[in-house]
Amino acid sequence: MATRGDKRTRLVKAADKLVQRQGYHATSLADIAAAAGVPLGNVYYYFRSKEALGDALIGQRGEHYRARRATWDREPDPKTRLRAFVEMTVENSTLLARSGCPIGSLCQELHKQGGPLAEAASGMFAEFLDWLEMQFRALGKGAESRELAVHVMSALQGATLLTHSFRSPRYIESEARRLKAWIEAL
């Protein structure tokens, strides 16, 4: 018999996959319940609303990315950490070609209506920008560190959008090569 935590985890994981594939608004609680193998009525036991489930989904994605950054932070060289960030995008290029950026797509969709969920989604980008800025500061880039962080994020988001639009990882792969060479030259 599944425990309460198991069902909740299954619901969040199912929501993550469905929202990544078809978008937040196009994904119903019934879709999520079916994918998780949980009766629809039970969803409300774990989440009082679709927004509460969305918040849990964003929380899960945020935890995943914080764990990735913690792994990268074990590297002593900021350039190595920056290259690892770029490489994460390359590693996921096939999924990104199919579904788009899990953060960017969610932000674009949620910000059309705004609200707390949209702000929570943007928080994932804010955390990445802060982390990138810290890497550039560690490289001695001082006041321009934030702009350099935005440059890296913008380059990868643009490449991800093209990769998704044309269903081809080559856009991410070529931009990643340029970014890695640029990082090495810093």
Closest CA relative to residue 156, chosen from 78, 82, 67: 82
CATH of the domain at 154: 1.10.357.10
CA-based nearest residue to 2, from 63, 46, 44, 47: 46
171 and 113 part of one domain: yes
Q: Are residues 31 and 86 in the same domain?
A: no
Domain co-membership, 147 together with 163? yes
Question: Is the Cβ–Cβ distance between 111 and 122 less than 8 Å?
Answer: yes
Which DSSP state fits 3? -
pTM: 0.94
Do 72 and 43 lie in one domain? The reply is no
Query: Both 85 and 15 in a single domain?
Result: no
Structural domain count of the chain: 2
What gap in Å lies between CA 56 and CA 122, rounded to an integer?
A: 14
Query: To 10 degrees, what angle do helices 78-91 and 50-72 make?
Result: 130
| DSSP calls for 38-102 | --HHHHHHH-SSHHHHHHHHHHHHHHHHHHHHHHHTTSS-HHHHHHHHHHHHHHTHHHHHHH--H
Domain span at residue 104 reads 51-185
Q: How does pLDDT run along the chain (186 residues), one tens digit per residue?
A: 556 679 999 999 999 999 999 999 999 999 999 999 999 999 999 999 999 999 999 999 999 999 999 999 999 999 999 999 999 999 999 999 999 999 999 999 999 999 999 999 999 999 999 999 999 999 999 999 999 999 999 999 999 999 999 999 999 999 999 999 999 999
Report d(CA 47, CA 43) in Å as an integer: 6
> How far is it, in rounded angstroms, from Cα 43 to Cα 85?
35
Structural domain ending residue among the three candidates 32, 48, 64: 48
